[in-house]
Structure 1
Amino acid sequence: MSNLQKQFEKFHANIRLSDKDEKAKLQDKRELLIKDLRRGLKRDAEENSTPRLVFEHFNQGSYAMHTGTKPYNNDYDIDVGLIFDNTQDDFDSPVDLKKKIRNALNANFRKIKIRRPCVTVTYYKDGEPDYHVDLAVYVKIDDEEHFEIAMGKEHSSEENQEWQESDPKGLINKINNRLTGDERAQFKRVIRYLKRWRDKQFNNGGAPISIALTCAAYHWFQPASFDGELNDLRALYNLVDSMIDNFGFPSARLSVELPVIPGGDLLDKMTDKQMEVFNEKLEALKDALFDAKNETSDVDACKALEKLFGDEFPVPDEDTEKQSAVAPVVVTGTSA
């Protein structure tokens, strides 16, 4: 029976964002963008003789939840929340505020798109996307803790725009405080494994979004051990098994509830066909994890998992495994 904990931990080291290098680089880029936005909003207020828009910002998404992975396509993603010192009554519409942000940031070296949940700023290098920043835009409701997020695309009709009550900081706290100590570390590792599996297996669209995978783990993850040591293979297997068990009947859909306001199913945008493919791929992952758990050869087990997770999943050297399988000869006594 294979344990593979060392291989899973090496895999995790290969896919996680490193604290010193990549995270610092992304933080620098975020701070530069925030400075540009403050300058742009100040400039526009002076030019139009209007009140200057003031905001505070915070990290959100995988960066804040410590579940980030290196981008599979080299396009780094930074999620930032902007909380404006305003209420919705200060703007004509949710998209009105987003346009003010877009106009304040307009520059030749970046592309800005107003999407329904955020304003996306994409930076290019050698003609290819290098990284992008998703700016989620919030206004206050009645105090410092309750916010509304501006929802709507640039050309959305009035009925397709809304101020939606949101609790982004509450979500971050729930994910980060789901467990403690080594069990929390395993929880975060398993989320990263699921994300990389998604990246590898869904090449043609239809993939479940990252926050849905994170919240699925929030709802159904349970720490797992073997011989007194945490065992990521078992923990991932148990989570995938629980996700499959939660597919509905007869609709055969998985519903993952957002655990803070406004709630709702994070997978409701997936079509029935996409959900069917998702279910099939989860079943294949479950089978591969089961086989790996019961495989006598670590090499064969890891080769099977490499097909699902990509070449970042390490495969032990066959010669090393053969040598470790040979028991040492111990000579006792004396010759006659």
Structure 2
Amino acid sequence: MYNCHDDVLAYHDKEVTLPTPEQTKMRERRNANRNRLDRGLTKAGHPLPAEHKSQGSYAMKTMVQHSDNDYDIDDGVYFDRADLVGPRGAELTALQARQRIRDAVDDGTFKTPPEVHTNCVRVVYDAGYHVDLPVYRRVVTTDFFGKEQTINELASADWKRSDARDVTAWFDEENRRQSPDDTNGRQLRRITRFIKKFARSRSSWQGQMLSGFGITKLVTECFRANAEREDQSLYDTMQAIQNRLAFDLVVKHPVTPNETITNGSDDAKARQLRDKLKDALDWLAPTQAGDCTRAQALKCWDKVFNTDFFSERAEEKAAKSERISSTAPAILTDWLRQQSDEAAQQGAMRKEGGGRYA
């Protein structure tokens, strides 16, 4: 495979991973929403959350750049069970808990009012991004041996045991264990970002592709590490995922037993990812040829990510080489003139019989 290691890494750093200023904006948006929620709860006379905790791709640091700012920030809201009760002391249902959060976060400033979804409250911003607020309650239970333990239950269709922080811990461990490096987020995380970026590279694919969570799980299953070649690791992982989905479209949840990310044995979004990965591998086929040129290889990567980033790098390099070539004769002429002047000066010194030749 033609070596585009540096180019693929450059694409990751400039076009895939969120730049530091954007990460700062994300953090500010999250914090502003937390403050808004707390003010709304206080105003309504309700207890404040015991904890706010980021989760999902934001917490796993696998978010990728999006031209339309279509970012999804998941920020869990955790309450003690005793604090999620009604005016007469009855426990809130899962729906009532989500409705309370929706009412508290809606301060009247949103063009689109916050919405109650099955697993969260969604706050949509005009800039294009949205913040999802899953609601949890902490429940003290007793295990088989009579020992007390605290579990978290998500306000979904009903209260169900769940905690997205377990998913973050799972991914962090997989990234640490499988990656051959420990810089720039580690390779498994970067490959996850690459494939998520590919899955969002065409607007016509929107809503048809497997979720970012599903892609993340598949990368951890099929990751092919390569400490020396980022492009090879990406290609091999894409191929492994495509082969895996050709065999089985079911993607299991990484931490919740008996739960799947996909829907049934013939999930349409998993099929879409499988088929588009096959296309991408076909587009990269010329890079496997022994006579593949750099320009040809970069055009292949352009097609995969629906960009002109790679070809522009080739043009920039060619232009730089041309500038160096055009200035070389002048530099050589100046050097020869300098040598001639020094030789003339030394000759004069010899003729006079002085200086260091005396």
Q: Which amino acid aligns with 1:182?
A: D
Q: Aligned in 2, Cα 1:245/1:53: closer, same or farther, shift over 3 Å?
A: same
The structure with the larger Rg is 2
TM-score (norm 2): 0.75
Matching residue of 1:182? 181
**Aligned ranges for residues 233-312 of structure 1 at < 5 Å?**
233-247=231-245, 253-268=248-263, 272-294=267-289, 296-311=292-307
Aligned equivalent of 2:219, options 217, 220, 227: 217
- How many Å apart are 1:188 and its aligned residue? 1.0
- How many Å apart are 1:118 and its aligned residue? 1.2
- Structure 1 outlier segments of 4+, above 3 Å: 87-92, 269-277, 318-324
Matching residue of 2:27? 27
Matching residue of 1:85? 80
Give yes or no for the alignment of 1:118 onto 2:120.
Answer: yes
Give yes or no for the alignment of 1:149 onto 2:154.
Answer: yes
Aligned equivalent of 1:73, options 68, 77, 83: 68
Higher relative contact order (CA 8 A, sep 6+): 1
Q: Aligned in 2, Cα 1:303/1:248: closer, same or farther, shift over 3 Å?
A: closer
Q: Aligned in 2, Cα 1:115/1:282: closer, same or farther, shift over 3 Å?
A: same
- How many Å apart are 1:313 and its aligned residue? 3.8
In the aligned structure 2, how far is the partner of 1:109 from the partner of 1:293?
55
Deviation by residue 1:12-61 (Cα, 9 ceiling, x = unmatched):
01221123x1111111111111111111111112xxxxx52433111111
Query: Secondary structure of the equivalent of 1:141?
Result: strand
Matching residue of 2:16? 15
Aligned equivalent of 1:52, options 47, 52, 56: 47
What's the Cα RMSD here?
2.8
Q: Which amino acid aligns with 2:249?
A: L
Aligned-residue identity in percent: 26
TM-score (norm 1): 0.80
Name the structure with the higher helix share: 2
Matching residue of 1:327? none
CA contact (8 A) 1:237 1:290 kept: no
Give yes or no for the alignment of 1:139 onto 2:144.
Answer: no
Unaligned runs of 5+ in 1: 46-50, 152-160, 325-336
Give yes or no for the alignment of 1:317 onto 2:318.
Answer: no
Matching residue of 1:330? none
Q: Aligned in 2, Cα 1:246/1:139: closer, same or farther, shift over 3 Å?
A: same
Unaligned runs of 5+ in 2: 141-147, 322-358
